[in-house]
């Protein structure tokens, strides 16, 4: 949560210093980067998490060290090759795919981060497998603090040279932040490694070839899902640039609108995912252990628990986005142009908040191939819808927005159907009705409450409104028993 809040500060600094078009250049660059990063990792972090969890359960400490070493060799080798390819093809990507040559310098500036993230990902998977989330949480906070400091410094220094240079300066700050994060998590690993070595006993000898095969057997299907997501994310700005030009927009207008959607609206909608992502990370070793012991009742309980917590965190965010869209955008980004987008998209993103735990479950149960197929179908539907709608002048950027929503709906429902077919898992109808009822009631009674508070200054209006809505929402969660007392205790203690 702290990391996400700091990330918002970073977004606000960028938005106010770069403006819509500058943020658009920045956001157009990121999909290509994420695609290359996904290729460099090929699902290794999930494999490390799962295998380390299994080895820890069996007290095979020597195997843990070999898993980490081999995973580092694989990811670092791939990341070096892919970094060189990104640098070589950056002019082509910026000119002919993204259709905005101003992204070229940003692509070059961000390229060193591929190797840094590849190494960090292995260490994160190691700690996730040990079910110790603190190192990566602190590392994320360190990364955000460093990034905010250097964004302010570097963007200010480079802005006189134009938006292209300023966007590249922002990218350099991201690289510096990730490097600081890597240094911290490596320090934690070295300290923890000493404990692992101390525990090592005479265990069976693990041939590197067998371990290599085991890592890839888990990693490659998982990588398929992430690669599909990254390809979709990579193609999205390319499709947006082409479709909006067909619809009659200029390159500058297209970049500005895409910057508003992905730089302002999407970060707000994705804010609750800090909880769903954390739950997903915790689910993989937890469900893997229960599944290995054939405790399917525990598996079902953990999935339902994650969904309830995801619904709970996403529900209050949905209410706030619907009721306070204009004020939030004005306060954070000094614009209200995209408020209708936020209000319209927020209710549909409730499905996205439960999507991550569902996908993590499929991966933990070694059904990553099914998750990949679901993601592929969703990607095809999303991009097809984007092309069909965004090329129409009557839709334009609204077509982009609708394609994102449709993609979320399709993938989430496919994951639900897959879990039902594979392990007969269902989401309780009572939970769905309770959540929808609570959100609806809160929106209805929230409108008159907010009208009473409208005389306050914007900042105090938002703080007071969220406070009132939050108290009522928490009471609703308790009264409807959406979250139990034990789970509140677990959340306060930082355990799941």
Domain extents for the chain?
1-219, 270-496
In this prediction, residues 230-242 reach a mean pLDDT of: 79
In this prediction, residues 423-437 reach a mean pLDDT of: 90
Of the ranges 3-7, 31-35, 319-323, the best mean pLDDT one: 319-323
CA nearest neighbour of 375 among 347, 349, 413:
413
Confidence of residue 197 (pLDDT cuts 50, 70, 90): very low
Instruction: Answer for the pair 306, 427: CB distance below 8 angstroms, yes or no.
Output: no
In this prediction, residues 155-181 reach a mean pLDDT of: 91
Ranking 12-16, 88-92, 195-199, 481-485 by mean pLDDT, the lowest is: 195-199
Per-residue pLDDT tens for 367-388?
Answer: 878 888 898 899 899 999 999 9
Write down the pLDDT at residue 291: 76
Write down the pLDDT at residue 185: 92
Distance CA 400, CA 387 (A): 8
Confidence of residue 496 (pLDDT cuts 50, 70, 90): very low
Write down the pLDDT at residue 186: 92
Residue 147 has pLDDT above 50, yes or no: yes
Distance CA 255, CA 185 (A): 36
Confidence of residue 132 (pLDDT cuts 50, 70, 90): confident
**Regarding predicted confidence, which is higher, 132 or 185?**
185
In this prediction, residues 400-404 reach a mean pLDDT of: 91
3-state SS string for the chain: CHHHHHHHHHHHHHHHHHHHHHHHHHHHHHHHHHHHHHHHHCCHHHHHHHHHHHHHHCCCHHHHHHHHHHHHHHHHHHHHHHHHHHHHHHHHHHHHHCCCHHHHHHHHHHCCHHHHHHHHHHHHHHHHHCCCCHHHHHHHHHHHHHHHHHHHHHHHHHHHHCHHHHHHHHHHHHHHHHHHHHHHHHHHHHHHHHHHHHHCCCCCCCCHHHHHHHHHHHHHHHHHHHHHHHHHHHHHHHHHHHHHHHCCCCHHHHHHHHHHHHHHHHHHHCCCHHHHHHHHHHHHHHHHHHHHCCCHHHHHHHHHHHHHHHHHHHHHHHHHHHHHHHHHHHHHHCCCCCHHHHHHHHHHHHHHHHHHHHHHHHHHCCCHHHHHHHHHHHHHHHHHHHHHHHCCCCCCHHHHHHHHHHHHHHHHHHHHHHHHHHHCCCCCHHHHHHHHHHHHHHHHHHHHHHHHHCCCCHHHHHHHHHHHHHHHHHHHHHHCCCCCHHHHHHHHHCCC
CA nearest neighbour of 147 among 266, 234, 26:
26
Q: What is the pTM of this model?
A: 0.71
Per-residue pLDDT tens for 54-99?
Answer: 787 777 777 788 888 888 888 888 889 989 998 999 898 888 777 7
Write down the pLDDT at residue 204: 47
Average pLDDT, the chain: 83
Distance CA 310, CA 301 (A): 14
Residue 142 has pLDDT above 70, yes or no: yes
Per-residue pLDDT tens for 341-368?
Answer: 899 999 999 999 989 889 888 878 878 7
Residue 161 has pLDDT above 80, yes or no: yes
Interaxial angle between packed helices 397-423 and 251-260, expressed in degrees from 0 to 180 and rounded to the nearest 10: 40
Residue 306 has pLDDT above 80, yes or no: yes
């Amino acid at each position: 949560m702290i990391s996400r809040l700091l990330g918002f500060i970073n977004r606000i600094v960028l938005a106010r210093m770069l403006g819509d078009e500058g943020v658009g250049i920045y956001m157009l660059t990121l999909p290509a980067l994420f695609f290359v990063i996904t290729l460099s990792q090929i699902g290794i972090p999930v494999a490390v998490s799962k295998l380390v969890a299994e080895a820890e359960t069996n007290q095979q400490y020597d195997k843990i060290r070999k898993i980490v070493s081999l995973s580092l060799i694989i990811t670092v080798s791939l990341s070096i090759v892919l970094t060189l390819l990104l640098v070589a093809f950056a002019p082509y990507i910026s000119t002919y795919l993204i259709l905005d040559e101003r992204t070229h310098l940003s692509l070059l500036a961000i390229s060193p981060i591929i190797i840094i993230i590849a190494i960090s990902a292995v260490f994160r998977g190691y700690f996730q497998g040990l079910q110790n989330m603190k190192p990566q949480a602190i590392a994320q906070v360190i990364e955000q603090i460093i990034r905010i400091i250097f964004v302010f410094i570097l963007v200010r220094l480079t802005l006189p040279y134009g938006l292209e240079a300023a966007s590249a300066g922002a990218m350099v700050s991201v690289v510096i932040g990730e490097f600081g994060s890597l240094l911290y998590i490596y320090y934690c690993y070295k300290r923890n490694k000493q404990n692992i070595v101390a525990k090592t006993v005479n265990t069976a000898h693990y041939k590197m070839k067998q371990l290599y095969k085991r890592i890839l057997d888990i990693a490659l299907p998982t990588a398929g899902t992430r690669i599909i997501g990254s390809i979709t994310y990579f193609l999205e700005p390319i499709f947006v640039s082409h479709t909006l030009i067909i619809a009659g927009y200029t390159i500058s207008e297209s970049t500005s609108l895409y910057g508003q959607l992905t730089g302002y609206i999407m970060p707000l909608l994705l804010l609750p995912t800090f909880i769903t992502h954390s739950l997903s990370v915790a689910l993989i070793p937890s469900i893997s252990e229960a599944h290995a012991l054939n405790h399917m009742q525990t598996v079902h309980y953990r999935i339902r628990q994650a969904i309830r917590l995801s619904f709970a965190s996403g529900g209050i965010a949905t209410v706030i986005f619907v009721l306070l869209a204009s004020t939030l955008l004005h306060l954070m980004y000094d614009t209200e142009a995209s408020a209708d987008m936020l209000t319209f998209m927020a209710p549909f993103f409730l499905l996205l908040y439960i999507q991550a735990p569902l996908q993590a479950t499929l991966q933990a149960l070694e059904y990553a191939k099914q998750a990949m197929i679901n993601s592929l179908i969703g990607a095809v539907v999303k991009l097809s819808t984007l092309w069909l709608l965004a090329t129409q002048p009557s839709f334009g950027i609204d077509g982009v927005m609708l394609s994102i929503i449709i993609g979320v709906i399709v993938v989430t429902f496919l994951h639900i159907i897959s879990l039902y077919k594979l392990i007969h898992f269902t989401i309780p109808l009572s939970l769905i009705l309770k959540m929808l009822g609570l959100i609806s009631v809160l929106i209805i009674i929230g409108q008159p409450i907010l009208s009473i508070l409208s005389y306050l200054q914007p900042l105090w209006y938002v703080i007071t409104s969220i406070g009132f809505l939050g108290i009522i929402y928490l009471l609703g969660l308790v009264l409807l028993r959406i979250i139990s007392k034990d789970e509140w205790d677990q959340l306060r203690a930082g355990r799941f």
